[in-house]
Amino acid sequence: MKPNHVVFAAAMASAFFLAPDESQAAEWKKGMSSPEIKQLQQRLKEKGFFTYPQATGYFGAITEEAVKAFQRAMNLPATGIVDDATYAKLKNAPASNDTLAIGSRGAAVSDLQRRLKQLGYFRYPQITGYYGAVTADAVKQFQRANGLPATGRADRATLERLKQKATSQPVESSDVLTIGDRGDDVRELQQQLKQLGYFTYSDITGYYGVLTADAIRRFQRDNGLPVTGAVDNQTAARLASAVKAKTTSPAPIERERLAVRLSIGALGEDVKRIQTKLKELGYFWTDITGYYGTATADAVRRFQQAAKLPATGIVDSETYERLLGQAPPTKVDVIELVADAAELLGTPYVWGGETPEEGFDCSGFIFYLFQQQGVPIPRTVALMWNAGASVSAPEVGDIVFFATTTNGPSHAGIYIGNGQFIHSGASTGVTISRLDQSYWKQRYLGAKRLF
């Protein structure tokens, strides 16, 4: 389908939904587009529930979550669908008088996060000064524990109670290690992660950087811990327990069940079969070689995480059977992809960021949107460039690449038609730009398709 046709199709799709009048909601729900949806988003924003700076008129995942949050606050069934009862409450509910709510920024939010962190409710590794979903969840936990309405918004009563608790019950930060730390403790941590198959970098560096934080996130995700990328006491204890369990020989029946089929260093047709399947599913982005190296181990680990298996990077019997029996991923719905991207306009740029709450770097923005579609893609610009199929002219949903800091690809965005692309720029956050603008035209490398 040509780019313009896809954009027109997105516009026409909304025409199939009946636009409700001002007095009724007639079940507004995810997937709908209309001016009335834009009014709905503005009302939700006034009440402190809609999280992003712009009302888009498209009812996507973020709007659905805002509706659910409002419904919970109003003691309505949290369906995410705006029926007449929800709409009536929304029209009559007073505007938010909360001191702080989702979307707030600044020193007051930083102070709130510090107090919540001191009391053990805010577990994100950094004080961001931005009130996103992570902060709202921490506020809800505090409110429940202190007999306050669990709205997730910091009103005066919540802030006062928080101040009292933080003053009377000081709690030291539970973070043991985080990005920027150095020394023997970090070396020991990296050795543990390497032993468990999470730290794949060849050298034990003693420096806690992005690679170590990513390894910790994978371990935390696999073990049902808060995914912060920082090592608190709970994560450290779970790591020690996992290492101890790994060094203990399994019982004979367990040894048979965990029989290793393939690991680093293996060669042959079985490795080719695994690599081919991983590539088909979108986890493996290099050539089919028949050699089981670190790239194959990383791809296996990504599959294991998605399949909720122990992320060892080793193909045991269970991994082998689950992998070869996996169906190919569904195709990307480019209309939904672009609509979801539009809801993120204005999200700030954060290096290494890949969620709406923390912000996005350019590849993190693309990675997040494809994840929402259930389609795995590489995390970095360079790997996306290597994995994509070149196209002579971009269509909606294709990735456009630019050389901004080096001769090779260093920046990317999603093409949305009419010569435009949406991306997370270092100075702009998530925004829309034109390919024919002088800056981008001079640095354009080409377009590739990742689905």
Find residue 305's DSSP bridge partners: none
5 is catalytic: no
Structure tokens at 365: 């923005």
Q: Which of 411, 415, 416, 420 is catalytic?
A: 411
Q: Which of 134, 362, 375, 399 is catalytic?
A: 362
Give the three-class secondary structure for 248. coil
Whether 213 contacts 190, CB under 8 Å? no
Closest CA to 299 of 279, 272, 269, 320: 279
Model's pTM, two decimal places?
A: 0.39
Closest CA to 124 of 179, 75, 169, 74: 179
411 is catalytic: yes
Q: 35-66 burial by CB neighbour count: b if 16+ within 10 A, else e? A: ebbbebbebbbebbbbbbeebbbbbbebbbbb
Q: Which of 47, 140, 218, 423 is catalytic?
A: 423
Closest CA to 349 of 427, 401, 410, 415: 427
Contacts with 248 (C-beta within 8 Å, 6 or more apart), sequence order: none
Taking only the tens of pLDDT, the chain with its 451 residues reads: 434 444 433 433 333 333 334 444 568 888 888 888 888 888 877 776 775 667 788 888 888 888 887 777 677 888 889 888 888 888 776 555 557 887 777 777 878 888 888 777 887 766 777 777 778 888 888 888 887 778 888 887 788 788 887 766 544 444 567 776 777 778 888 888 888 878 876 578 888 777 788 888 888 877 777 777 788 877 888 888 888 776 654 444 343 334 457 888 788 888 888 888 888 777 887 888 888 888 888 888 888 877 778 888 888 877 887 787 765 555 677 888 888 888 899 999 998 888 888 889 999 999 889 888 777 788 889 888 887 888 989 999 999 999 998 788 999 999 999 899 999 998 899 999 999 999 999 999 999 988 7
